[in-house]
Amino acid sequence: MSSTAGEVARMDSTLFFKTLKDKVDAYFENNKLSRAGEYRLLLKSIFQILTAVSLYVVLVFFTPPWWLALVLAALLGVNFAALGFNVMHEGGHQSFSHNKWINSAAGYVLNILGGNIYFWKVKHNVNHHTFTSIDGLDSDINVEPFMRLHPNQRLLKAHRFQHIYFVVLYGISYVVWVFYEDFVKYFTNRIAPHMKPMTLSIKEHLIFWITKIMYVTLLIVVPIFFVGWLKAMIGFLVMTFVCGLFISLVFQLAHVVEINHFPCEKKVVGDWAVHQVSTTANFDTSNKALSWLLGGLNFQIEHHLFPKVSHIHYSAISKLVKETCHDFEIAYHEYGTMFSAMASHVRYLHKMGAC
C-alpha cells in the first residue's frame, strides 16, 4: 500500500464504524431479525441449565464411582463455564432478550455461579469493552505480579516460566474470583484501583451476601453432608479448576495473542472501533460446535464491535465486518483453529516473560 493510500485509509478510519453499523443495521432490518437471542438462546440455555442440574444431582445424591465422579465434576466445570458464556454473558450485555427482566434474570446466573453481576458489569462492560488491552485501565489483563501480559508491565524473573505455570493460575482463577476478588471489591468499594469508589444500595448488599451464602451451601455444605468432606472438596476443586481454566483460555485466546496490538498509551487513541479490531482476535470460527459451546465468543471481534447483539448472529455479521475491514484496509485478526490460537498465546507468554 502506498503512503498516500495509507494516509487516506487512516483519515477514513473514523468512518469505519459508521459504514459497518449501517451494513449491520440493514442486515437486521432487511431480514426482519431481532438483535437479541430470544427463543433460540432460551432453548439452548434451558438445555445447559438442565445439564448442570443433572450433573450436580448425580454427583451429590447418587455418589458414582470415584473415576466417574471426577469426569462428571470436570464436565460440570465446563458446564458452568458454558452457562457463563451463553446465559450470564448475554444477559449482562442486554442481548439475551428484548425483555429487561429476562436479561436481568440471565445476568443473575453469575451470582448462582458464585460471582456478582453488579461488579461484573462495571469490570467487563465498562473497563474491558471500553479500554481493551490498555494497561492500567483494562483490569482483565492486570494479573501482576503473577504474570506479565502487556509490554508496559514490569518484568520479573519468575515470568520467564509463565508460559508453563499459566495453566495453574488460570485453573485457580475461578475460585479466587469467587472467594477473594469479589470480597476485595466489596470491602474496598472499588471495582478496580483506578476507579472511583462505588456506593452499593441495600438491595445490592443483600444480593451479595445471600447469593454468596447460597453458593457455599449448594457447592460445599450440601455435598459434604451427602458424600463426606474429602470427596466433596476434591470434586469442588476439580470442577472449579476446569471452569477457571476454560474461562481464562477463551478470554486469552481472543486478546492475549501475538497478532493483537497492545497499546502503550493510557487511553484509546484514534477511532474506538478500530481500537477494538486491532486489540482483538477471532479463532476457529468455522467450528459450529465450539461456537455453540462458547456462546460465540470465538467471534470476539464481532462481540466487541456489537456487544448488544446476540452471539447467534455473529457468524452472519462477521462477513460484513471482514468486508468493511478490507475496504478500510484494517487488519482483521483471526486464527483458523483453537490450537493455533493456543500456540500463539503460549508463544506470547514466553516472549513477555523473556524480554
- Report the pLDDT averaged over residues 74-91: 97
CA-to-CA distance for 84 and 72, rounded, in angstroms? 18
Q: Which of these, 188, 213, 183, lies nearest to 199 by C-alpha position?
A: 188
CA-to-CA distance for 115 and 82, rounded, in angstroms? 15
pLDDT at 5 over 80: no
CA-to-CA distance for 97 and 184, rounded, in angstroms? 32
**Hey, what's the cell of 106?**
440471565
Q: Which of these, 249, 261, 277, lies nearest to 341 by C-alpha position?
A: 249
The count of other CB atoms within 10 Å of the CB of residue 175 is 17
Radius of gyration of the chain (CA): 21
- Alpha helix (H) residue ranges in the chain: 3-12, 16-30, 38-61, 66-83, 89-92, 100-107, 109-112, 117-120, 129-130, 162-176, 182-188, 202-216, 222-227, 229-255, 272-278, 288-294, 300-305, 314-327, 338-354
List, for residues 196-215, the tens digit of each pLDDT value.
Answer: 888 899 999 999 999 999 99
Least reliable range by pLDDT among 118-132, 150-164, 186-200, 303-317: 186-200
pLDDT of residue 192: 79
Q: Which of these, 167, 180, 178, 177, lies nearest to 246 by C-alpha position?
A: 167
Q: Which residues of 211-228 are buried (b: 16+ CB within 10 A; e: fewer)?
A: bbeebeeebeeebbeebe
DSSP character at residue 283: E
List, for residues 225-271, the tens digit of each pLDDT value.
Answer: 999 999 999 999 999 999 999 999 999 999 999 999 999 998 888 89
Least reliable range by pLDDT among 17-31, 42-56, 202-216, 263-277: 263-277
pLDDT of residue 4: 38
List, for residues 321-352, the tens digit of each pLDDT value.
Answer: 999 999 999 999 999 999 999 999 999 999 99
**Full DSSP string of 116-182:** -HHHHIIIIIIIIHHSTT-TTT-GGG--TTT---STTSPP-GGGGGHHHHHHHHHHHHHHHIIIIIH
* Grid cell 468455522 in the structure block, residue: 286
β partners of residue 283: 335
CA-to-CA distance for 86 and 109, rounded, in angstroms? 10
pLDDT band at 12 (very low <50, low <70, confident <90, very high): low
List, for residues 142-189, the tens digit of each pLDDT value.
Answer: 999 999 999 999 999 999 999 999 999 999 999 999 999 999 999 999
Is the omega angle on the peptide bond into residue 307 within 30 degrees of 0, that is, cis? no
pLDDT of residue 7: 43
